[in-house]
Amino acid sequence: MNVNEVVREFLVESAENLDHLDQAFVQLEKDPGNTTTLAAIFRTIHTIKGTSGFLGFGALERVAHAGENLLSRLREGMLTLDARMTSALLRVVDATRAMLAQIEASGDDGHGDHSALILELEALAVPAHPADAP
């Protein structure tokens, strides 16, 4: 399997996984404490992060990593999902879709500036009361 085939497979799998994320976020909004759904979302973002890093798509890797960190803290119970977090995580999905389209069109993950989203995700990942965190 050559690099182009690996990238193509990554694009197809990632698109399918993102479609499942849309449904998972709807479920999570109805039941924010659903650890199974949260774990599935985490795994999807984690897989995209790892594969994009392996394939050299640094911008995609950075966005996915920031989303993964927030999801990790939610999974650990350090944070409780709220509307701001959900909105930011949905923007991770949107940014990921855009970068995947860019990879498909040009072979790179683009030169978009996702720094504001990354900073927001990092801020949201910090517990409001660190002393209360487990």
Does residue 133 have a pLDDT over 90? no
Q: What is the pLDDT of residues 31-71, one digit of tens each?
A: 988 999 999 999 999 999 999 999 999 999 999 999 999 99
- Take residue 107 and report the two structure tokens written for it: 């072979």
Ramachandran area for residue 47 (φ above 0: left; ψ -120 to 50: alpha; else beta): alpha
Region 77-103: mean pLDDT is: 95
> Is there a contact between 103 and 48 (Cβ–Cβ < 8 Å)?
no
> Is there a contact between 66 and 121 (Cβ–Cβ < 8 Å)?
yes
* 115, burial (CB in 10 Å: exposed 0-12, middle 13-18, buried 19+): exposed
